[in-house]
Chain A
Amino acid sequence: MDESLEQPDAKPPTVSLDGISPEDGDQASDDEGDVVLDWTKLLPSAARPVIPRRGEKEFEPQPGGGSGLQVHVLDRSRNAMFDALRATRTISSKAVSYAIWHPDMARAHVTLARGTLFTSLGHSAPRLVVAADGSKKYHKRLELLPEEALYLVERGTVFCWKETTLDLASVEGMEEVLGPPMSVQQAFSEMIGTEDLTLERYQVYAYLKRLGYVVTRATAPNSLYPMPPPFDLSPFKRKPPSILNRICSIFPLWISKISRMLNGGFNWWKPFRMSRWLLRDKNYGSVFRALRFIPAGHDIPLLPIKREPPAKPSPYQIFFNVHKPTTPYRKSAPCLPDYQIVVINARTTPMPTLRELTDLFDISPEMPPPLPRQRRPLKANTPPASDTKPDTKPAPKPAVKPAPSAPPPSLGRRIVNWIRPPPPGPTMMVRPPHPFMAIKAGKKTVIVAVVDAGSTSFFRFGQGAFSEWAVT
């Protein structure tokens, strides 16, 4: 028995039973059970391909190969991979949808749509059709962008024909046929390159679709394409600071202005001086505040403001709008996207310049600062949406502001409040965001998908707000 196992084959089911003596039957059936289980995991009866899970890495090779266990395990995994790749991909004729690719329009017309995928794919377009009686009418029909068509063809949902110029109706037996069928390879080679679709963009599209996101174009390819409403680009209004804070923040400014006037302007050879009489700036916080005189922040206009239109448009353009799988999405009236994604080719494009990032920030909405981690449930009067609102949602809506802001109190009330701070009301329950989280998130976000020869990494560039979150 040992001899027969000396050189085990890498394919357990064909191997193991041959050399096993009858008295080892129990053991053998156990073995077989295990092995067969492996096989069934990889290739179920329908022979549908399943991508094997990646295993743990071996620590180090056995000296001299050991008993061949490592080689055996490796071969078994490799064969499983080959089997998974070798399996024939099939689709059921009852579930498949049909489409016709129109190269001149760069659209695929869906002639038969089946399945739920189409609830978030494609858009309807009225097209002139000639009815049988010769009358011309506009009919609404479902059309797919090249990336949508290609994705569906690749995943085996759609069977695609190509529109032909030949008059097949006159050929006998071909009356019903509108064109030749397209293979997946043909679809790739014909659809990529149309309607601004590059291979990188398609790879990002397919990756996000497979994760369940709804992915649409950020710029409408034509007027029929449904677009979300534009972003509200006005600066996000944070909760108004408490009265006490406001009064405290006004005074130092005012005093430092007067003292600066008395001292004859800002002395650049002696930028920081302590006022002699005032006790208020005798702490480290005021020292640090006084040192903040170097221009900083994204609010400063980036010079030069005037510039010639560049010879080549920047590759950093938002290309996809992305909705999370949980976001309710209506194809005809899309809501604001959860993310916007720029796709670039890492081999040809370096990182964005500051100008390119600034241009992208300029068209992105400002996000509310991330909410602090909740330790205990909020009181009922806080909008429940703020509980579940993710910190990365770039679409601020007034309804989900962390706290309802009170109307500004009267002057008398203000003075009273200043002297005796009001008791902590229900809004005090909303804790301020953690400064580190707010800094890391930034005020605006741009997501860049960097495709390097097929492998994609996504980067988030946040518009930093260090100046607003000093640590003293």
Chain B
Amino acid sequence: MSLIKPSGRKGPVSGKAAGRRNDNNRIYGCPLPLIFWYPPPSRVRTLLGLGVLDEATRSVWVASKNDSTLLWRRGFFGKGDLSRSEPSWLARQINSRRAGGNRLTSEEMTAKRRAERKQFKIDRARAIAAVAAEAEAVFESEGRVVVPALSGPAIPSAATWKPAPVATEPPDTPVTPQDEAPEDEEPPEDLEHLQLTLPEAFFLLWNLDCLTVADPHTNDLLSIQQIWIAFQAAYLTPPIPVSPKPTPVLQLDNPFLINYIVYHHYRSLGWVVRGGVKFCVDYMLYKRGPVFNHAEFSVVVCPVYEDPADQEASVVGLHNAAPFPWSWLSTINRVNSQVYKTLILTYVTIPARSRVSLDVLNSPACLQHYSVREVTVRRFIPARMRD
């Protein structure tokens, strides 16, 4: 008698930006796509979503709008294939047709902010050039050396600059592809689907049982056993399909296993885990989710072979299995400390072939042979640690 009932209802669309935080708390209140009912009702357990495995992109596609909205709002799973994260392509289309939609999507907010930032930089450069020209003039006429200031009351800073009251309209409009069909009132068809990475999909279907995955060729639903093998195989076969399809030998150092372990580890600790390629890392950890807080930590996954001989014999080109050169660590750390994120090296040990046979890979029980350790990286600045 399970008490979990994934609800199929969409939350109401919020109105103004005023009660934004309350709206977020309401819309994104559930950290997982599970709902608890009090008092316990009869046994209800429906499958939430249906996904289709796409081996070429190593992802699972969720086409239903309802499912993808729920997966995004309850735990921030997946990303829209035409959007930055939340599937918002349709909303952008509607906004651009109506010219000034009621609520901007996050992509449109970013575009607006970037346009403003660009304008600010232009204004600042102009102000600095004016001060410099003045100093040049003084030097030319009087021979007095006035070092032109790069900051001060005459020069706008990020804190003081305000966007001009709509003198230049163009930079403010969001940069979205404009369809030249303003006349049709028909809302456009939603062409977007939600993409789940394989670790995300496996987390949802294995632990929470709220996703099923269909075979892309036959459309038959796959069993959990089939999915487990298919997800591993997706990382072992070349992305371009060849016929006849070879059945690869499962490997202990499969990137799917490594990534899944890290993903599961942080999810189980309550973090919202999302991709971090923008910051040169594998994952970003958010405290409730991207709509609430900025990411606090950025995670680099570092696989470690228990037996170095396995690494030499490996047929899987695993990333970051060798220690970084210092220049690369400095690069990553510089990028991440610039955006106030702490870098975490997450080491996943890969069991030695001599210890564990490859047969364990036929079931998720193999995960008990791996282990996860974190090492935090921060700069140490002696000049500031003297007290």
Contacts and interface: CB of A to CB of B under 8 A. Distances in A.
Interface string A407-436: 000000000000000000000000000001
Given A271-B364, A466-B266, A72 B342 contact: no
B373 A297 contact: yes
5 contacts: A212-B386, A269-B363, A272-B208, A274-B2, A294-B261
Interface in B76-129: 125, 128-129
B168 interface: no
A248 interface: no
B36 A269 contact: no
Contact of A213 (B208, B380, B382): B382
Given A31-B144, A268-B364, A462 B378 contact: yes
Interface string A252-294: 0000000000000000110111101001001111011101111
B267 interface: yes
A287 B380 CA distance: 38
Interface in A284-323: 284-285, 287-289, 291-298, 300, 302-304
A472 B268 CA distance: 9
Nearest to A325: B386
A460 B375 CA distance: 10
A80 to B, nearest CB: 13
A22 to B, nearest CB: 16
A40 interface: no
A95 to B, nearest CB: 25
A213 B386 contact: yes
A5 B141 CA distance: 9
Given A16-B143, A31-B144, A350 B376 contact: no
A55 B38 CA distance: 66
Q: Is the interface of B mostly helix, strand, loop or mixed?
A: mixed
B352 A458 contact: no
A458 B379 contact: yes
A123 to B, nearest CB: 23
Contacts of B381: 458
A450 B377 CA distance: 13
Nearest to B376: A462
A68 B147 CA distance: 12
A283 B34 CA distance: 10
Contact of B378 (A67, A73, A346, A460): A460
B16 interface: no
Contacts of B38: 282
A158 B296 CA distance: 50
Nearest to A20: B143
Contacts of B143: 1, 5, 8, 16, 31
B325 A351 contact: yes
Contacts of B213: none
Given A59-B150, A287-B32, A471 B287 contact: yes
A460 B372 CA distance: 20
Contacts of A247: none
Nearest to B329: A351
A457 B329 CA distance: 11
A284 B208 CA distance: 12
B302 A354 contact: yes
Contact of B330 (A285, A297, A300, A457): A457
Interface residues of A, number: 91
A303 to B, nearest CB: 5
Contacts of A352: 323
A470 B270 contact: yes
Interface stretch (A99-107, A136-144, A396-404, A439-447): A439-447
A284 B327 contact: no
Nearest to B267: A291
Given A303-B306, A303-B355, A351-B325, A439 B376 contact: yes
Contacts of A271: 206-207, 364
A461 B375 contact: yes
B326 A462 contact: no
A374 to B, nearest CB: 16
B145 A351 contact: no
Interface string B9-33: 0000000000000000000001110
Interface string A345-382: 01001111110010000000000000000000000000
A79 interface: no
Nearest to A72: B145
* Shortest 10 CB-CB contacts between residues of A and residues of B: A464-B374, A472-B270, A291-B268, A268-B365, A462-B376, A458-B380, A67-B140, A5-B143, A296-B372, A471-B270
Nearest to A304: B306
Given A211-B386, A268-B363, A392-B385, A351 B376 contact: no
Given A294-B265, A302-B349, A304-B352, A350 B373 contact: no
Contact of B132 (A59, A296, A353): A59
Interface residues of B, number: 86
A66 interface: yes
Given A69-B135, A287-B32, A269 B375 contact: no
A292 B386 contact: no
B344 interface: yes
A6 B125 CA distance: 27
B235 interface: no
Contacts of A470: 269-270
Contacts of B135: 69
B377 A295 contact: no
Given A72-B139, A470-B269, 15 more contacts: A55-B147, A60-B129, A67-B136, A67-B139, A211-B382, A268-B368, A284-B30, A291-B267, A294-B268, A296-B372, A346-B325, A357-B375, A439-B297, A458-B380, A459-B329
B190 interface: no
B159 interface: no
B268 A292 contact: yes
A438 to B, nearest CB: 10
A464 B373 contact: yes
Nearest to A361: B375
B36 A282 contact: yes
A57 B293 CA distance: 34
Nearest to B264: A294
Contacts of A284: 30-32, 34
Interface in B232-274: 261, 264-271
Contacts of B139: 67-69, 72
Given A303-B355, A304-B306, A354-B302, A295 B379 contact: no
A463 interface: yes
B144 A207 contact: no
B304 interface: yes
Given A72-B139, A269-B224, A463 B270 contact: no
Contacts of B297: 439
A229 interface: no
Contacts of B374: 464-466
